[in-house]
Structures are given as structure tokens and as C-alpha cells.
Amino acid sequence: MKTHAERAETLFKSGYNCAQSLIGAFEGEIWIDFETSMKLASSFGGGMGRLREVCGALTGLFMVVGLLSGYSDSEDHEAKTRHYQLIQDLEQAVPLLKRASPDACTPPRTKTQCRVAQVMEVSR
């Protein structure tokens, strides 16, 4: 069975954007189906619609973390604080992904350019 990183890289190399690749790697572990997750993440590729802002790999990771351990009760301030701290800790682990790289977002994409692989390594 493939690891999350291998699944994400396979999706990325088949043409899905970074955010889609990250969330798609968790198919079967998150409570939304593959097609819905691909639609949800579709706007975040290329640093949010090719605006070269926050890298889609990081955005995808944040979506997965939210689905797996996010909060849903707006009154649960402790859960919100814990969740935001987790997101901040993850962002600190991959600070170079705050802005999307044109090289990483433009085909042909190579393994060394694949930010998906970098994010998956940090998220272990």
C-alpha cells in the first residue's frame, strides 16, 4: 500500500494541483469523497488560483488537518486555540511554502520541484 506521500506525488504528477494532491492522498480517511475533495481544493492550486500566494500544498495540508482534527463548535474556544496552534506549528515547519513557486506550479513538474513531497515529509 502506498504512503500518503506516494499517493500525493502520484496525484500531482497526473495533473492535480498541490492542494488537490494533498487532500486526495487521504481518500478514505477523511469524511468526504474524492470528487468532492478535488472540487474543494481546485481553487487553491498555483498559490490560490495561480496568484502565487500561499502554496496549495500547504493549503491542502491545512484542509486535511481541519477534516481530521478541526473543531466544529464555535463556542469551544479551547479547541479553536489548540487547532490554530497546530496549524501555526505546521506552517513554521514549512515556512518557504508561504508563497507558491512558479517553478513548482508550472508543468513539467519534477520530484525536486514537488512541494507536495516536502509538505508530506513535514506532516508525518
- Which tens digit of pLDDT belongs to each residue from 57-112? 889 999 999 999 999 999 999 999 999 999 998 888 776 555 555 555 554 444 44
Q: Which pTM does this prediction carry?
A: 0.79
Amino acid 110: pLDDT: 47
Give the separation between CA 106 and CA 111, rounded to whole angstroms: 13
Can you state the angle between helices 34-41 and 56-69, rounded to 10 degrees? 130
The Cα 103–Cα 62 span in angstroms is 22
Distance between CA atoms of residues 44 and 49, nearest Å:
6
Phi, psi of 58 (to 5 degrees): -70, -45
pLDDT of residue 108: 46
